[in-house]
Amino acid sequence: MINKTKVTSADVHDGKALFECLDGDDEAVFADKAYDNESDRKVLRQHQIKPRLMRRTYKSDFLTRKTRKANLNKAMGKIRGAVEKFFGTMKRSYGMRQARYLGVLKNELHVRLVAVVYNLVRATNIRKDRNLQPT
């Protein structure tokens, strides 16, 4: 289910909106390599949130470090897959491949309305699945 949305203009990097998307009762944050920096990790740890951010590899990394980062990314990628599935559904089924309107406010309203629709459909499907399971 979608708890929060954040829409920014195209010139704002994804990593700048990380903390605006947190609820306060989060136990862990799973994010892609765009959020990989030590200052974000440090702030998350200070708030008792486990930073499960994908790791970037660099040319200067030794082979063992690259292997370790690849293994960490693979483990986190399995959990992040559920979130990425949501983004795929939004793009494929709800027409969210690109911004539809001019202006951040109009696009933010559009994203929030689509999130409400997504949550309603998701809740209906969860309820159907629970009713089909034998008791």
One-letter-per-residue 3-state SS of 20-59: HHCCCCCCEEEECHHHCCHHHHHHHHHCCCEEEECCCCCC
Q: How far is CA 47 from CA 5, 27, 43, 118, in A?
A: 21, 9, 6, 30
Task: List pLDDT tens digits, range 13-68.
Answer: 887 888 888 887 889 988 888 888 888 899 899 989 999 999 988 888 899 989 99
Question: What pLDDT score was predicted for residue 82?
Answer: 82
Rounded to whole angstroms, how far apart are CA atoms 6 and 115? 11
pLDDT tens-digit map of 79-91: 888 888 888 888 9
**Among the listed residues 52, 13, 16, 17, the one whose alpha carbon sits nearest the alpha carbon of residue 31:** 52
pLDDT reported for residue 105: 95
Res 135: pLDDT: 59
Identify the CA nearest to 21 among candidates 35, 10, 11.
35
Angle between helical axes of 63-93 and 104-132 (0-180°, round to 10): 90
The reported pTM is 0.75
Q: How far is CA 19 from CA 16, 47, 104, in A?
A: 8, 11, 19
Kindly report, residue by residue over 91-110, the tens digit of the pLDDT.
999 889 988 899 999 999 99
